[in-house]
Structure 1
Amino acid sequence: MTTALQQQVFALDAKYNANRAPNSPGFRTLYIRRRSQLLRETEREPDKWAQYLKLRSTLLQQRYGNAGCDSTHLRSTSRSSISNESRTSIFGVKDVVVPTKQAEASRAIVGGNSIAENYAFKGVHHIFDQHNEPVTMVKFANNDQSLLCCSSVDGNLSVCNVTDSPPAVLAILKDHTKAVTGFDWSANNDLIASSSLDSTVKVWKVADYSCLRTVQDPNSSQILCCLFQPVNNNLLITGNSRGEVRIANVSTGRFMKNVCRVTGNVLCLASDANGKTIWAGNDKGEIVSILCDISGQLCRTRRLNMGMPCSITSLSYRAWISREARDPLLLVNSSNNSLCLFNIVDYEGTLSLKRRFPNRHTKHSVKSTFCPIMSFRQGACVVTGSDDGSVYFIDIEKHGSRSCVNTLQGHSSPVLGITFNYNESLLATSDLEGLVIIWKRADL
């Protein structure tokens, strides 16, 4: 609910953006991007967001007149009365306003840049080599452009500042006895949770990089992935080698009794914005949808099979990323040489294939990511690693060879991890040899 209301506020600002500094499109672009970042960084209860939306609409209407519609009209105005916008529905919030190709604000935000121009990278910003084994995952802290965490098969995690002069490794987190398979940042970046083949999940305190809690799997199964519950960071969702999705309580340091059985090895997890729907991918080519309530109770609902033997190595959720892709989406890496985009069609997390893209991926745990900034350009972009050592930028609205809009070549081994910082100025990628490359965007 909160995410959808934030999107309504952003859509309202985008509608009025054409009226700001009419002779300075560059300023309008900067303004709307900053607004997007501030909205993502702000935490409010749903009723406070609704109140803010109404007040914001009133103030903008007083300032600019009837260029936009009042917040009450976001739900009540008929489709025919809004010439420059269309509506979409994201489960539980009706008629989220989304600019169309004709919207003046959208054209101002684009600024004439194509997807390929926007995601052109001018080269390597820095290379980290603190790990001597494959780096399984990299991830920037939430809403942060500098703080990067890396996990490795060497059993360690590292935290780096990539914008220092020079970039530096701030800490090496050493407490796991076997390979670290994945990790997640808490919502406010004060904690990092890591999963390992040593059958534990460890919770690290970022302030002093100490190990705050160790949670042991009840059956000593290898823990292959972990994820903070988005609205309750006291709960940790985990997947293990027994095909189980479990939830651990950070405060007590114990796993809860309820278990959701997925089968196979649970290799990756993803959650929607409110944590009510979880998706788990395994090594049998299956994606299982699971409902989760605020207390941590789990209920399996749907299962999708890719139709051939493969491993699901990465899952990423996004409510919507552009006007061309306005429905909730799940981005999936599977080891049958494909990168897939699925529509999420109902409350139970049912998936429907939207698009499949070829990607060299048959063996390793390759990951992908959505570009973080909501795009109003023609097209929408995702980025993926590959077994051939390249990083591919894919426009999900194009077909065939035209879908790849940019390729980065700097790794000499399969690219496993990939992550953007929040303003897309830097991209971090990791590989099988333990290197982490930080790429810098060309226009910065």
Structure 2
Amino acid sequence: MSYSACYSRQPRRRGCTKMAWWQQVLAVDAKFNNHRAPATPGFKTLYIRRRSQLLRDSAREEGDSPRCMSRNMSVTMSQTGSQGIEGPQGPPPAGSVVPTQRAEASKAIVGGTSIGENYAFSGVHHIFDQHADSVTMVKFAHNDLGLLACSSLDSTLSVCQVSEGEPRVLHTLRHHTAGVTGFDWSSTNDLLLSCGEDGAICLWSSSTGQCLRTVSDQAGGQVLSCLFHPLNSNWAVLGNSRGLVQVLNISTGHYPKGGTSKVAGQVTALTFDSSGKTLWAGDDKGIIISFLFDLGSGGLRKGKRCVVSEGAAITSLSARTWASREAPNPTLLVSAACNTLLLYRVVDKEGGLRLKRNFSISHVYQPVRSTFCPLMSFRQGACVVSGCEDCSVWFLDVERDTRPLINRLQGHAAPVLGVTFNYDESLLATSDATGLVIVWKRQ
């Protein structure tokens, strides 16, 4: 079964709420934007941005500002027994992230706001529509405000600049002959690594858009996931459709001895911990396997096995080391195609996992991704963001025992697949199954 088969068309849900009616109008506008002045893409973008501004201004004039609408939505959802967005909270549970006197500098980074206020993304900064098929992944460059890359099933990648002057596409990367399933930035942002259904692994110069090297999958399978080692960009790890986790030497194009391991299903997701010593691989059978990585030789040694949900594909993995006194435990965020987003605690040096929390989110058919918000502080609460098949973007406070949903963006007209923050959380980029990429700005 090909990777693109996951993108089956499903009936779209209408769940339009008063809180985000203007976002629904914007989604329709974005859908038909290609038909407006096709020869002048700059006009299309200007139209959408002005349309978004007018809709939000209209909502405020009618007394339904985003803040008021958020409160109304909280009441409505509470009455129906659903998860609310904001509301009075009781004492924080034991072990949660709580502000202390030591946290003033950390709190200042995020402006001293509540977690709900800090993630009130609603303004549309820019809309990109350069891709003709599903955008499988979006990712900002490391420690960069506006360098954004996107991969698509139309067999191309694009590199965009969204923070300096008018947002624009810098390069369109063309070398793959089938859908691009994933990519990663090198630690210094000068290189991009991509993989695809054609079984090719491509190394690109992010500044010129030139393809520097192409390597074929050693087993002849589709390559479904790839990433650089976080400390040494000479090493890359790949996951293919034949169940192989493979280490690749980028400089030589060779696969080192001892750097290949077999798992049960197609390897659909990969992530390292911050030290680069532990690797987790998720497959389409709902299983996560940990590996210990040898930085010198590129060798892999299997660690622990965790069954998330049998038969439910793992579509996204994101590891985070919570380096604070209040929340010191390494954690793994998992998107699984069983209508669930899960948070695991890493419990040993071999990457063993113990379930901490799980959240209901619409996700069965599409390769939906999720990520931690990059600023992890001593402020009460900790946020993650996820795509969703209900065409919205979900913000969740993973430290709340009740009503973890703190924001929901509804600007897309198709299932949301990719999500990414720039490093200071001023911009959020999301992509969907029609090829649309929306860059949101903090309110």
Could you tell me the TM-score, scaled by structure 1's length? 0.75
2:141 is matched with 141
RMSD of Structure 2 on Structure 1 (CA): 1.8
Q: Answer 1 or 2: higher relative contact order, Cα 8 Å, separation at least 6.
A: 2
| SS in structure 2 at match of 1:254 | coil
Aligned twin of 1:346:
348
**Matches for 1:62-211 after TM superposition, within 5 Å:** 101-103=100-102, 105=104, 109=108, 112-211=112-211
Structure 2 contact 385–394 (Cα < 8 Å) conserved: yes
1:172-202 Cα distance to aligned partner (Å, 9 max, x none): 0000000000000000001000011111110
Q: Does 1:234 align with 2:234?
A: yes
The residue aligned with 2:247 is 247
Query: What is residue 391 of structure 2 aligned with on the other side?
Result: 389
The counterpart of 2:317, out of the listed 306, 311, 315, is: 315
Amino acid at match of 1:409: Q
Which has the larger strand fraction?
1
**How far apart are 1:108 and its partner, in Å?**
5.8
Report whether the alignment pairs 1:266 with 2:267.
yes
1:297 matches 2:299: yes
User: Deviations 1:88-129 (Å, cap 9, x if unpaired)?
Assistant: 9xxxxxxxxx98535462696376521110110132110000
Which whole-Å CA distance do the structure 1 matches of 2:103 and 2:373 have between them?
Answer: 23
Superposed CA offset, 1:64-104 (max 9, x none): xxxxxxxxxxxxxxxxxxxxxxxx9xxxxxxxxx9853546
Q: Tell me by how many angstroms 1:322 deviates.
A: 6.3
2:104 alignment partner, SS class: helix
Deviation at 1:318, TM superposition (A): 0.6
What letter is aligned with 2:335?
N
AA of the residue aligned to 2:192: I
Q: 1:323 to 1:366 in 2, by over 3 A?
A: farther
Q: For the structure 1 residues 360 and 256, does the alpha-carbon distance in structure 2 shift closer, same or farther, using more than 3 Å as the test?
A: same
Whether contact under 8 Å (1:324, 1:379) holds in the other structure is no
Q: Residues 107 and 438 from structure 1, CA distance in 2 versus in 1: closer, same or farther, beyond 3 angstroms?
A: closer
Distance in 2 (alpha carbons) for counterparts of 1:267 and 1:104: 38
**Structure 1 residue 271: Cα displacement:** 0.1
Q: Which whole-Å CA distance do the structure 1 matches of 2:341 and 2:122 have between them?
A: 25
**C-alpha contact (below 8 Å) 2:127/2:439 kept by paired residues:** yes
SS in 2 for 1:318: strand
Question: What displacement does 1:254 show?
Answer: 2.1
Contact 2:107 2:377 (8 Å CA) reproduced: no
Structure 1, residues 117-176: CA drift from partner, whole Å, max 9, x if none? 011013211000000100000000000011000000000000000123320000100000
Contact map agreement 2:287 2:310 (CA 8 A) in 1: no
Secondary structure at the aligned position of 2:274 is classed as coil
8 Å Cα contact 1:324/1:380 also seen in 2:
no
Cα separation, 2, equivalents of 1:104 and 1:279: 31
Give 1:373 shift.
1.0
Give the counterpart letter for 1:101 in structure 2: T
Aligned to 1:3: none
Q: In the alignment, residue 157 of structure 2 is paired with which amino acid? A: L
Aligned-residue offset at 1:321? 6.8
Measured in 1, the distance between the counterparts of 2:245 and 2:277 equals 14
1:257 corresponds in structure 2 to: 257
| Greater alpha carbon shift after TM alignment, 112-121 vs 269-278 | 112-121
In the superposition, relative to structure 1, how do residues 383 and 104 fare at CA in structure 2: closer, same or farther (>3 Å)? closer
Contact 1:415 1:432 in 2 (8 A): yes
Give distance in 2, aligned partners of 1:268 and 1:274: 18
Shift of residue 273, structure 1, vs aligned partner:
1.2
The match for 1:398 is 400
SS at match of 1:154: coil
Structure 1 counterpart of 2:236, one-letter code: L
Comparing 213-222 with 426-435, which one deviates more in the overlay? 213-222
Runs (4+) of structure 1 exceeding 4 A deviation are: 321-324
Aligned length: 345
Contact 1:428 1:438 in 2 (8 A): yes
Distance 1:278 1:133 in 2: 30
Does structure 1 conserve the Cα–Cα contact (< 8 Å) formed by 2:229 and 2:235?
yes
TM-aligned CA deviation for residue 398 of structure 1: 1.0
- Compared with structure 1, are the counterparts of its residues 389 and 325 closer, same or farther at alpha carbon in structure 2 (3 Å cutoff)? farther
Partner of 2:414: 413
- Normalising by structure 2, report the TM-score: 0.75
- Residue number among 327, 338, 355 corresponding to 2:357 in the alignment: 355
Q: Which moved more, 1:157-166 or 1:430-439?
A: 157-166
Which residue is equivalent to 1:372?
Answer: 374
Structure 2 counterpart of 1:351, one-letter code = L
How far does residue 209 in structure 1 lie from its aligned partner after superposition? Answer: 1.2
Which deviates further from its counterpart, 387-396 or 372-381? 372-381
**Distance in 2 separating the partners of 1:112 and 1:195:** 41
Structure 2 stretches lacking a partner, 5+ long: 1-94
Q: Can you give the 5+ residue segments of structure 1 that lack an aligned partner in the other structure?
A: 1-87, 89-97
Q: Counterpart of 1:166 in structure 2: which amino acid?
A: E
Other structure's SS at 1:105 match = helix
- What corresponds to 1:76 in structure 2? none
Q: CA deviation at 1:274?
A: 1.8
Q: State the identity %.
A: 54
